[in-house]
Structure 1
Amino acid sequence: MNFDIRKYIDKEITKKEAFNLCNLKGNDLLYLFAAADEVRNKYCGNVLEICTITNAKSGKCSENCKFCAQSVFYNTGVKSYPLKDKETLKKEFYEAYKNGSTRFGIVTSGKSFEYGTYDFNVIIDFIKEIMSEKPEAEICCSLGLLGEKEMSALKKAGASRYHCNIQTSSEKYSVFAASTHSFEDRINTVKNAQKSGLQVCCGGIIGMGETWEDRINMAFALKELNPQGIPINILNPIKGTPLENRNFLSPEEVLKTIAIFRLILKDKNIKIAAGRESVFKDFMGSGFLSGANGMLTGGYLTVKGRNIEDDLKFIKNIENLWNNI
């Protein structure tokens, strides 16, 4: 190893320095993972944040996101249904809460919602009812590309965080993500949420064919946006989408990505989201010894996740390990 990775535990890393880390191999990777884990411990502590999402409205999306089973542009056989009613959402919320989730995310297909429409009002009423019952878990929303008026209504109702991924680098957004809306549309959505006082969860997807430069550029774009949560999704190629023939990334490449993101985004909640089961299998714990400190449980919209009981045992084991290292 030609340089000391541990210096980045306290030092801000430049884009050039981060890119140099992408070339690490062999034993040098172990030093990278250890440094990332130390950064996680120093800036975030030893608590693993658990989130659960519900696919509250599925399919028939007008956008052509190339990784997504719910786009009307692709024939994926995904089940389509309208917005779930409040009672169904409440049942799912309390099930997630019982299983230890501190955040419950309402995710809907489609480009956006407009203030005052029936579906938007259902979501607002659901949030108000849940928050009036004062649960310890919080509600997050992922409802597409919303404006300030809609964001303010969500905040006023009691939502705490808005989720909108930038997916990849700005240079490759139309190549790997979508062309029916722009990278700037997503940036503006994040800023609209922040203006309203909502926290933000914003990350992306790796494994779409992007380069290391794209990943580093995405990480620094996220650093500039300053979200509280950063989900790292690993592409799960879905038949019928333009990315159906992509191969899964190797565990080594995913771990390297997580570790470098941690060195760039020191105090953020970095969550391993979709794809973790397929890539890591029995070695999932390695992601949480390489910089990650959050995860999604209970599934990923159209893709089933791991058994919740197995996840809960896993989470307990990881936190015990963190606290005894």
Structure 2
Amino acid sequence: MTDRSGAPVVVGVDGSASALDAVRVAAREAAIRHRPLRVVYAFQWPLLGTPLGPMSAALPDAELRHEAGKLVAEAVDEARKLDSELPVSGGVVDGAAVPVLLRESRDAALLVLGHRGLGGFAELLVGSTAVQLSARADCPVLVVRGEPRADGPVVVGVDGSALSREAVGFAFAEAAQRGTTLVVVHAWRYPTPILPGEIVPLVYDPEELRAEEERVLAETVAGWSERYPEVPVRRKLVAGTPAPALVAESTSAQLTVVGAHGHGSLGGLLLGSVSHALLHHAHSPLAIVRHRRGRGTA
């Protein structure tokens, strides 16, 4: 799907407090994007024998489905409390969380997930579910972490790859929609051996290395400032590893943005320590942008 002009913001719910936090964030995201909100519950009981949140295993299937419908209705009501003009719909969809939300992402502008959950979204960020969705969803994924706030900058991590430039485009659009500053963070390290037997230069000029990293950072942002002249930009070059830098910047951010894959300092973002740090320690909602040919930044 390349034209997502009418695509909704989709949020997964399960009756947990974290899911209701996600609904509130998703409602705000839908409102600032002028898009409808869709609330989805992944109903797993008939397929996997997973309890419906705190519901008793003694309840028959029909009653469990009714309870799931009530949880969706509660979430829809919560969204409407925040914005009575926001178009909101909801549904109970058979299946496990990952396949259900992957299908929903095909026609979504943004997929919003809570930090923790029950039932269909249990252990969402502890196991592989968030990694799978972030790596495979057909739209950006927003994981609600920390204390959602309406002030503070949008922060984006970059590494010079094509994907990080796409993440920058998404972050510029977010900063413009929110009327806030964009902080572009690029972390770099002096040459050090990573693999056994790897050879690094014995002599190098730190100033030349820093100048090269400054160039990478400037090229990643180039063009976007012209497209979004109303967005104030702060470029931040950090000597060190990306995870601590991005976690620290997220403390004052209203949104942190990263790409699903990359190279250099942000390489393997969702497969190693950087993803672990951000998914478990970020102090703001985290947007993960995956490259998809023909897709805009939405």
Q: TM-score range by the shorter chain?
A: under 0.3
If the length of structure 2 is used for normalisation, what is the TM-score? 0.26
What's the TM-score once normalised by structure 1's chain length? Answer: 0.25
Which one has the bigger helix percentage? Answer: 1
